[in-house]
Amino acid sequence: MAKSKNKNQTQIVGRTQEMQILRAAIKLGRNILIEGPVGVGKTFLVREILNDLQLEHERVDGDTRYTESKLTGWFDPPIVLKKGYVASCFMDGPLVSAMKKGKVLFINELNRMPESVQNILLPAMDERHITIPKLGRIDAKPGFLVIATQNPREFTATHALSEALLDRFEMVPLSYQSKDEECEILRGQLPGKVSEETLERVVDLVRATRNHPAIKRGASVRAALAVMTLISGGVSLEEACLLALPSRIEMVTSDEDPRQIIRELLSTDIFPEMKEKKSPQKSSQR
C-alpha cells in the first residue's frame, strides 16, 4: 500500500504468506473465503491479487436487502410483454455473467447477504451450473470461481453461512498486521508530512483499542489513517482522535462512552505530554 507499483508488483504491505496462498488457490480454481475484522484490508487484498493475476471479475457488495434476482439476473418486464420469456429478455446478474464468461465472482461481505441469496451459490460452486425458471440451465465456463470476504460471525448485521456453503470454500483468515507494517501503510497513504513520533504513537493508540476491556471491536489501520489525515490538516492530536475513533470502535455495552475511553487512552504512557497536561487539571479540582 505504501509501495510504488511496478509490473507484477502489488501495493500490498506485508501479507506475503496470504498472497502466496491466494495465488495458489486461485490458480487451482478453488473457491476462497477470506475472514477478518473490519479494516484489515480484505477487499484491498482481493482487488490487488485479481489485478496482479489479470483476472476479470464481477463484484457484489453484501447487503441485507440484496435479492436473489439481483445476483442471478431478471427478465425485463417491458420486453417480456412484447417477446415473452425468451433469452434476449433476460438481464444477466453478476453470478450469471461470471459463469457465462468464466470470470471470478467477488462477493464482498458475503455474510451480510440473506441466507436465501447465499444458497443460490451452492449449485454454481458445487455442480458448476444453475437453473433459472423460464430460462433454463446456465453452465459455468472454465475460470469461474467465487472469492468472498466476511466479517467475523460476532459482528452485527451478519448472517452465519450454512455448513453446506462453508464446505465449498477454502478459508483464509486475515488478522491485524504488525505495528511496523501498519506504520508503513500509513507512510504510503498520508496526504501530508507528519512526524514519525506522532505516527507511531497514533498506531500504538489504535492498537491499544483492540485490547481494551470496554471495547468489543477495536479500531483498524483505516482509523489510524483518518486520525493522521486530520492531524496533517492542522487538527490537534487529541481532537483528531476524538473525531475519528468513536465511529470506528464498538463498545461492549451501549452505556459506555467511547470518547471517554479514548481520553483515558490518551492519558496513558503512549502520550506522556497528554498525561502531564491533564494532571494539573485533576489537582485543581481537589
CB 185 within 8 A of CB 219: no
pLDDT, position 276: 53
In angstroms, rounded to a whole number, what is the distance separating the alpha carbons of residues 264 and 34? 34
**CATH number of the CATH domain containing 215:** 1.10.8
Q: Which of 139, 173, 207 is the last residue of a domain?
A: 173
The DSSP call for residue 140 is P
Q: Which of 45, 40, 38 is nearest to 182 (CA)?
A: 40
What's the rounded Cα separation, in Å, for the pair 17 and 240? 34
Matching residue, cell 436465501: 116
The full length of the chain comes to 286
Q: Average of pLDDT values for 194-203?
A: 91
How far apart, in Å, are the Cα atoms of 269 and each of 30, 56, 265, 272?
47, 49, 9, 5
As a whole number of angstroms, the distance between CA 113 and CA 60 comes to 10
What domain count does the chain have? 2
Query: Where is the domain boundary, 173, 207, 235?
Result: 173
Residue 223 within a domain? yes
- Looking at the fold, whether 249 and 116 belong to one and the same domain comes out as no
In a domain, 79, yes or no: yes
Domain identity same for 40 and 130? yes
Q: Tell me the whole-structure pTM to 2 decimals.
A: 0.84
**Secondary element (H or E) of residue 260:** helix 258-266
CATH of the domain at 129: 3.40.50.300
Task: Tell me, yes or no, whether 79 and 157 share the same domain.
Answer: yes
Residues 133 and 118 in one domain: yes
pLDDT at 168 over 90: yes
Looking at residue 156, its pLDDT comes to: 55
Alpha-carbon gap, residue 230 to 243, rounded angstroms: 9
Q: Kindly state whether residue 280 falls inside one of the protein's structural domains.
A: no
Residue 25's domain spans which residues?
16-173
The average confidence (pLDDT) of the chain is 88
Residues 167 and 183 reside in one and the same domain:
no
Task: Identify whether residues 160 and 191 lie together within a single domain.
Answer: no
Say whether 149 sits in a helix, a strand or coil. strand
Q: What is the pLDDT of residue 251?
A: 93
